[in-house]
Amino acid sequence: MTLGERQGDEKNDSKYCGVETEFNDDMPQLLSVNIHGGFDFVVAPLMDPAYRPSLLLSSNGGSGVLPFAGSDLVLSPSQWSRHVVGKISSWLDLDSEDEMLRRDSEITLKQEIAWASHLSLQACLLPAPKGVTCANYARCVNQILQNLSNMQLWLRIPLEKSDDDDDDDGNRSPNSMGEEHRDSWEMWNSFRTLGEHHSQLSVAFDVLSSLPSVNSLARWFGEPVRAAIINSNSFLTNARGYPCLSKRHQNLVTEIFNNSIQIVISGQQMQNLPTGTSGTNSHNSNNQSEGVEGMQRHPLRSYLDYIAYLYQKMDPLPEQERFELGYRDYLQSPLQPLMDNLEAQTYETFEKDTTKYIQYQRAVAKALLDRVPDENASTITTVLMVVGAGRGPLVRASLQAAEETGRKLRVYAVEKNPNAIVTLHSLLKIEGWEKIVTIVSSDMRCWDAPEKADILVSELLGSFGDNELSPECLDGAQRFLKEDGISIPSSYTSFFQPVTASKLYNDIKSHKDLVHFETAYVVKLHRVARLTSPQPVFTFNHPEDSTKKSNDRYKKLRFEIPTDTGSALVHGFAGYFDSVLYKDVHLGIEPSTATPNMFSWFPIFFPLRTPICVQPGIPLEVHIWRCCGTSKVWYEWGVTSPSSSPIHNCNGRSYWVGL
């Protein structure tokens, strides 16, 4: 039935809500009750829980195999695949000391998954590992994954982390699983590491009544979480007797929706609902909760209604987010606007970003006012050069700034892309700018300017600030900037931030080569966990005191991940930039200061060949170099704490930007 529609987010899987059921050998009946009860799918055992291969063999004299599950014919293939997630028997204990139990578990696991595969189920829910070790379980799952078609395996993990080893009285407090200090993420990390991060292995976490800290929850959103199982006993009861969730649980559910994770409701009906109101839940705006005629209302319906209410309560996706949906977590090679010539489509995308040009216009206006006092406004003509003019939007922004401030301008539009020059010429005619603007078809690094500029305007910035070689280009252009001239931008700084990003890591890994792990990607980060605040890396100032100074850079960064996060896996680093255009006018994508409603830049992602696990309290030390050669510029990066990684992209062997 779906939880509702959210404008612009039609493809979001999280609008489908499931229900965990007990074993029922009448699968059609089970499905009918739950689908009519309002759920989109069931997470149901496929096999009688009493089944044990060893019992079967002994009772059977070791011969033949009895049917261990109902027939595949009881549902249509599409019913199986659309509405059933197989719940693998929860008694399985593949790391048990008891050899018979361990062998029974191995056999059953393989049989159940083979059966689920035969039914073309989309996913199976694997029971949570029972103890502290899970090596044999992980090994068996890994064996299965080697030959599995498209099915996903969801490993069940309770969302549990004790914050301290000791309680207030100094006693070590056992958790729900009877163990002392525990962070269930560690179990997941161990399991998936043993299985080499297989892309078909994901997480279904159990949301319990008490939640770990916000930071500890946040790291899960960089993990491949597919489902969140919320037990009815995690719900509270509102004043009218209906189930509801605590504020923290509500926030978590919103995050779950935003990350396309499906909710599964499990457990028994806990609330004694007020009599006479069984048809409608006070929360539900769509009144979806009407029972189907002649059928009893589903005992978990009021929980489903509440989840639907939370789904429908979310704000619609902003237009920009909707536009960018298709780019989420999609790795793109950064542009090389110096070495390559940009295409019309790329210019068009830039030109739609009005926010960027408004910021430039504000910066130019301020610079003009500083440069020319009011009393000289009608006599002094400011020489402004747009270097890297593209198809002219910065020329337009500069002319508008002149008009707005009443200053006179003479403009040079310098551009090395001959195709953009064609457009510039036609723009000049259309706009009647021929007397004010001179078009120069040249690389700014070798142009012999007829006069010097008061203001040099450029936008040669990449997602990581200097990665499209703005420093090298502007060093070349500085020759024709007056001694006291102004550069817009006047500086830019790159930023680095460690992230968990299992989807990106797996996408890079799928190429099975080194080159992809030593490349930086432009990517609209979505399913990532940002583990701590970004830190500044390299800053470039313009004009630079001495253009002889090298643009090589080296920076060592030390990140402290908040200790209440617990351990976390770092798959790489998100990169951003912030740029001071002029004085207080800035423009950037560093999250804490990002320019609102600007879409010209997605972040950049620097991957690690092997993800690094960072334990609480241990700093993460990263090194990054910007290296300049005669024909290219490149970055090298590596980690030295908590353990050392190789230096990535040595000599720019995999990824570089052409000069």
Active site residues: 459, 468
Question: Is the CB of 420 or the CB of 561 nearer to ligand SAM?
Answer: 420
Residue choice 337, 498, 534, 575 for contact with ligand SAM (CB under 6 A)? 337
427 belongs to the binding site for ligand SAM (CB under 6 A): no
The reply to whether 141 sits near ligand SAM by the rule CB under 6 A is no
Q: Give the nearer residue to ligand SAM in terms of CB position, either 229 or 394.
A: 394
Distance, in Å, from the CA atom of 551 to the CA atom of 544, rounded to the nearest integer, reads: 11
425 scored as a contact of ligand SAM (CB under 6 A): no
- Measured from the CB atom, the residue of 1 and 342 that comes closer to ligand SAM is 342
Decide if residue 124 touches ligand SAM (CB under 6 A): no
Confirm or reject binding of residue 390 to ligand SAM (CB under 6 A): yes
Structure token digits, residue 374: 């009011």
443 belongs to an annotated ligand binding site: yes
Residue 573: partners with Cβ closer than 8 Å, 6 or more residues away? 496, 497, 498, 499, 605, 606, 608, 622, 637
Among 473, 522, 569, 622, binds ligand SAM (CB under 6 A): 473
The set of residues, in sequence order, having a beta carbon less than 8 Å from that of 228 and lying 6+ positions away, is 204, 205, 207, 252, 253, 256, 261, 262, 263, 264
Q: How many CB atoms lie within 10 A of CB 534?
A: 24
- The residues that bridge with 204 in the sheet, in sequence order, are 156, 227
590 is in an annotated binding site: no
Question: With binding defined as CB under 6 A, does residue 350 bind ligand SAM?
Answer: yes
Distance CA 391, CA 421 (A): 7
Q: How far apart are CA 588 and CA 576, in angstroms?
A: 8
Q: Is 548 annotated as a binding residue?
A: no
Contact window for ligand SAM (CB under 6 A) among 27-35, 347-355, 567-575, 646-654: 347-355
Cβ of residue 386: shortest distance to ligand SAM, in angstroms?
A: 7
| Smallest separation (angstroms) from ligand SAM to the CB of 359 | 11
Under the criterion CB under 6 A, does residue 436 sit at the interface with ligand SAM?
Answer: no
Residue 88 found at the interface with ligand SAM (CB under 6 A)? no
Q: Does 252 bind ligand SAM (CB under 6 A)?
A: no
393 binds ligand SAM (CB under 6 A): yes
Instruction: Round the CA-based radius of gyration of the chain to a whole number and report it.
Output: 30
Burial letters for 17-48: b for 16+ Cβ neighbours within 10 Å, e otherwise?
A: bbbbbebeeebeebbebbbbbbbbbbbbbbbe
Burial class (CB in 10 A: 0-12, 13-18, 19+), 98: exposed
| Shortest Cβ 351–ligand SAM spacing (Å) | 6
How far apart are the C-alpha atoms of 113 and 126, rounded to whole Å? Answer: 10
**Contacting range for ligand SAM; rule: CB under 6 A; set: 120-128, 210-218, 439-447, 621-629:** 439-447
Stretch that binds ligand SAM, among 40-48, 175-183, 318-326, 384-392 (CB under 6 A): 384-392
Shortest distance, CB of residue 497 to ligand SAM, whole angstroms?
24
Listed ranges 246-254, 409-417, 520-528, 632-640: which one lies at the site for ligand SAM (CB under 6 A): 409-417
What is each CA distance from 643 to 124, 183, 635, in whole angstroms?
35, 21, 20
Q: Is 338 in the site for ligand SAM (CB under 6 A)?
A: yes
Return the SS3 of 378.
Answer: coil
Q: With beta carbons less than 8 A apart as the criterion, state whether 443 and 341 touch.
A: no
Nearer CB in complex with ligand SAM: 10/343: 343
Is 449 a binding residue for ligand SAM by CB under 6 A? The answer is: no
Report how far residue 564's alpha carbon sits from residue 170's, in angstroms, rounded to the nearest whole number.
Answer: 19
H/E element holding 186? helix 184-194
Residue from 92, 113, 141, 389 in contact with ligand SAM (CB under 6 A): 389
Q: Reduced to 3 DSSP states, what percent helix, strand and coil does the chain have, rounded to the nearest 5?
A: 30, 25, 45
347 annotated as ligand-binding: yes
Are 357 and 364 in contact by the 8 Å Cβ rule? The answer is: no
Asked whether position 253 contacts ligand SAM by CB under 6 A, the answer is no
Confirm or reject binding of residue 89 to ligand SAM (CB under 6 A). no
CB of 587 to ligand SAM, least distance (A): 11
Bridge partners (DSSP) listed for residue 606: 573
The residue with tokens 């261990």 is 68
CB of 111 to ligand SAM, least distance (A): 58
Which of these segments, 146-154, 443-451, 510-518, 567-575, binds ligand SAM (CB under 6 A)?
443-451
Residue 65 makes CB contacts below 8 A (sequence gap 6+) with: 56
Smallest gap from Cβ 460 to ligand SAM, in A, equals 5
Among the listed residues 45, 129, 212, 388, the single contact to ligand SAM using CB under 6 A: 388
339 contributes a contact to ligand SAM by CB under 6 A: no
Q: How far is the CB of 538 from ligand SAM (least distance, A)?
A: 19
Return the amino acid letter for 68: F
576 is in an annotated binding site: no
Coil vs helix vs strand at 463? coil
- Which of 20, 183, 459, 590 lies at the binding interface for ligand SAM (CB under 6 A)? 459
Contact call for residue 416 and ligand SAM (CB under 6 A): yes
Task: Pick the stretch among 145-153, 226-234, 250-258, 387-395 that binds ligand SAM (CB under 6 A).
Answer: 387-395
∠ Cα 176 177 178 (to 5°)? 90
Q: Can you spell out the DSSP letters for 262-296?
A: EEEEES---S-PPTT-TT--TT-SS-TTPPPTTSP
User: Could you say which of 17, 253, 420, 424 contacts ligand SAM (CB under 6 A)?
Assistant: 420
Give residue number: closest CB to ligand SAM: 388
Q: How far is the CB of 457 from ligand SAM (least distance, A)?
A: 8
260: alpha, beta or left? (left if phi > 0; alpha if psi -120 to 50):
left
Give the nearest distance from C-beta 477 to ligand SAM in angstroms: 8
Name which position in 94, 368, 409, 460 contacts ligand SAM (CB under 6 A).
Answer: 460
Query: Which of 562, 573, 572, 585 has the alpha carbon at shortest distance from 535?
Result: 573
Q: Give dist(CA 476, CA 449) in Å, integer.
A: 12
Q: Judged by CB under 6 A, does residue 57 bind ligand SAM?
A: no
What residues make contact with ligand SAM under the rule CB under 6 A? 337-338, 342, 347, 350-351, 388-390, 393-394, 414-417, 420, 443-445, 459-460, 473
Per the annotation, binding residues for S-adenosyl-L-methionine are 347, 356-357, 415, 443-444
